[in-house]
């Protein structure tokens, strides 16, 4: 093989060196030229939100360091960027790991065709999923629409996910970063805001940090994962979702490590964690087979649902000022940390969709901009699940009562006080529903409703009845 020819390695949602099949193949083929392209052109409405873009910048910095400062970075239409590189450099092969967003699938197919016309080899690999979406189907060849059948009858009937690959030895990199590479600062959200800096202060970012987090989860949290995962005040979840989204760690690595921990420690939490990984897979599966999922109701019956028009109440929900502590705590956690506990995600989504009667896309769009783990598949599927319009969705008539949820899953108010500290002086029973506190209790706590903490923006009983009536009208 001509040693002068370069192997272009295109990093995407796989910002790691371990368990990276495209990297392995490129290293085996010759000298590697690693690049990253931020393609807001083809992404259109689905270009990265501000929180995700902040994470990306830091993640690429750690990847670049692991590549001895030789990662070249570009912004723009990936089709044009790659065309320019193969025209100006002796590149005879291009390697990447597959992505599954509809716009990426369409763009990548065009790039493959363009490179084939130039007789340049292209090779793509699966680095992001346990099972490729097209390998799982019902006996009649159609895609599954129910998670349990998808997982038990589809996924688990296939070969087990392969063991993770280790980092390849002797990576031969191109001599230097390309002269027209952008600086990492060019990827920062514009305008830069203190919000992003505060948010990232809560996280360690990069491949090494992802493995440290998985190690800590397996060592001290996996045993209580089955029960503890529903309680937002507890450290009982992995918080791996941003690392998985950006590919700093692979689902195979997580799958196998929790399984090994379970065997060593007689731990039952692994099966439940693996099932959560499978829910992530199911979201990608749905997006692949139903590419309109981010914009259209999976169940067209909901196309006739009578939503309310967007009002100022949406802003109160976004800022965590609804007057319902568990909702406000969740929305403030999102704004302050770029993350929200999964149980609380369901509560705030139910409140927006069913009590406020606002379209699920308003919530999905806000999460898209504020979540560090903003993922088109998971975000779209999860919001539709909560709305009742998605695959295997929660029935629309399942309406979370935020007070009951708060009392059940945060009984001591620890999570509430963490993000709504103005409630700390209230007795615990009233922290979940401060509007029920008698005047003397409020006075003793030094609190005035409507000033120190908002009054409820709606009535739970009447808004629940309104939502059910609108749903019944669909029948």
**Catalytic residue list contains 96:** no
46 catalytic? Reply is no
Catalytic site residue from 55, 96, 131, 383: 383
DSSP assignment of 88-117 equals HS-EEEEEEE---SHHHHHHHHHHHHHHHH
Catalytic residue among 5, 153, 224, 342: 342
**Sheet containing 31-38, strands listed edge to edge, beginning at the edge strand earlier in sequence:** 72-75, 31-38, 6-11, 91-97, 121-125
Instruction: Tell me the C-alpha distance between 419 and 423, whole Å.
Output: 9
CB 74 within 8 A of CB 12: no
Q: Is 276 a catalytic residue?
A: yes
Nearest-angstrom CA–CA distance, 24 and 34: 12
Sequence-separated (6 or more) residues with CB below 8 Å from residue 340: 330, 331, 333, 334, 348, 371
Among 276, 407, 414, 422, the one annotated catalytic: 276
Is the previous residue joined to 57 through a cis bond, with omega within 30 degrees of 0? no
Considering only CA atoms, which of 23, 26, 2 is closest in space to residue 12? 23
Cross-strand pairs, 8: 33, 94
Give, for 345, the enclosing helix (H) or strand (E): helix 342-350
Closest C-alpha to 436, from 329, 322, 331, 323: 323
- Catalytic one among 307, 414, 422, 435? 307
Q: Is 435 a catalytic residue?
A: no
Catalytic, 297? Answer no
Active site residue 203: no
The Cα–Cα gap between 376 and 417 comes to 31
What's the CA gap between 249 and 186, in Å, rounded? 25
> CB of 175 within 8 A of CB of 90?
no
Options 55, 96, 360, 385, the catalytic residue = 360
Buried b or exposed e, range 2-40, using 16+ CB within 10 angstroms: eeeebbbbbbbbbbbbbbbbbbbbbbebbbbbbbbbbbe
Query: Annotated active-site positions, please?
Result: 276, 279, 307, 342, 360, 383
């Amino acid at each position: 093989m001509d040693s002068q020819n370069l192997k272009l390695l295109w990093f995407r949602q796989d910002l790691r060196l371990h368990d990276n099949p495209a990297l392995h193949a490129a290293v085996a083929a010759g000298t590697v030229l690693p690049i990253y392209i931020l393609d807001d052109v083809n992404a259109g409405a689905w270009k990265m939100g501000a929180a995700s873009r902040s994470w990306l910048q830091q993640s690429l910095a750690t990847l670049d360091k692991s590549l001895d400062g030789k990662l070249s970075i570009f912004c723009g239409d990936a089709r044009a960027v790659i065309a320019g590189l193969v025209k100006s450099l002796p590149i005879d092969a291009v390697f990447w790991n597959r992505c599954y967003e509809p716009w990426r699938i369409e763009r990548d197919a065009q790039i493959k065709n363009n490179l084939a016309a130039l007789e340049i080899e292209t090779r793509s690999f699966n680095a992001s999923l346990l099972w490729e979406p097209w390998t799982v189907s019902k006996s009649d060849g159609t895609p599954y629409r129910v998670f349990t059948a998808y997982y038990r009858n589809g996924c688990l009937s296939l070969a087990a996910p392969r063991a993770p690959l280790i980092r390849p030895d002797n990576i031969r990199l191109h001599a230097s970063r390309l002269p027209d590479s952008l600086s990492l600062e060019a990827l920062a959200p514009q305008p830069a805001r203190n919000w992003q800096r505060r948010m990232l202060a809560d996280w360690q970012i990069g491949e090494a940090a992802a493995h440290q987090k998985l190690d800590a989860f397996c060592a001290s949290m996996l045993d209580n994962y089955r029960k503890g995962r529903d309680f937002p005040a507890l450290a009982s979840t992995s918080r791996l979702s941003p690392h998985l989204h950006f590919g700093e760690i692979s689902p195979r690595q997580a799958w196998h490590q929790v399984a090994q921990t379970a065997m060593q420690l007689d731990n039952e939490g692994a099966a439940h964690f693996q099932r959560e990984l499978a829910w992530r897979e199911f979201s990608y599966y749905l997006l692949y087979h139903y590419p309109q999922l981010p914009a259209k109701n999976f169940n067209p019956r909901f196309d006739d649902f009578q939503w309310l028009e967007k009002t100022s109440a949406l802003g109160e929900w976004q800022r965590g000022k609804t007057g319902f502590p568990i909702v406000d705590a969740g929305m403030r956690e999102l704004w302050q940390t770029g993350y929200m506990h999964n149980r609380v995600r369901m509560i705030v989504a139910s409140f927006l969709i069913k009590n406020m009667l606002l379209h699920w896309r308003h919530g999905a769009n806000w999460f898209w901009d504020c979540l560090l783990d903003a993922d088109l598949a998971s975000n779209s599927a999860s919001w539709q699940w909560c709305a009742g319009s998605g695959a295997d969705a929660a029935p629309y008539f399942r309406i979370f009562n935020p007070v009951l949820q708060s009392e059940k899953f945060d009984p001591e108010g620890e999570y509430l006080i963490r993000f709504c500290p103005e409630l700390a002086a209230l007795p615990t029973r009233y922290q979940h529903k401060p509007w029920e506190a008698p005047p003397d209790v409020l006075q003793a706590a030094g609190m005035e409703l409507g000033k120190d903490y908002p009054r409820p923006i709606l009535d739970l009983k009447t808004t629940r009845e309104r939502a059910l009536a609108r749903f019944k009208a669909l029948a």
